[in-house]
């Protein structure tokens, strides 16, 4: 059985926290804009960015939904 390499806490943490806090925020904002652009590209012609943003915001936190299988 193969032995797993020794894990180092600092190395594990470094995987998730690259860059300064400002850089991480800028990356999150950029990724959000890219996701909005991608979603907007899948919508009918003429939909505004604001309307697409509202749809994504509404769909983000819909909460638990009952299964359609049980109805």
pLDDT digits over 8-66, tens only?
Answer: 888 888 887 788 889 989 999 999 999 999 999 999 999 999 999 999 998 887 778 78
pLDDT at residue 70 is higher than 80: no
Question: With 0-12 CB in 10 A as exposed, 13-18 as middle and 19+ as buried, what is 40?
Answer: middle
Q: Is the pTM of this model over 0.75?
A: no
Whole-angstrom CA distances from 63 to 36, 60, 66, 71 are 21, 9, 10, 18
pLDDT score at 40: 97
* Higher-confidence position of 26 and 67: 26
């Amino acid at each position: 059985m193969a032995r797993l390499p020794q894990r180092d806490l600092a190395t594990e943490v470094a995987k998730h926290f690259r860059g300064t806090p400002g850089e991480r925020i800028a990356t999150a904002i950029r990724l959000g804009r890219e996701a909005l652009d991608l979603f907007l590209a899948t919508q009918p012609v003429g939909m505004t960015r604001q309307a697409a943003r509202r749809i994504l915001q509404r769909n983000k936190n819909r909460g638990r939904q009952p299964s359609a299988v049980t109805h």
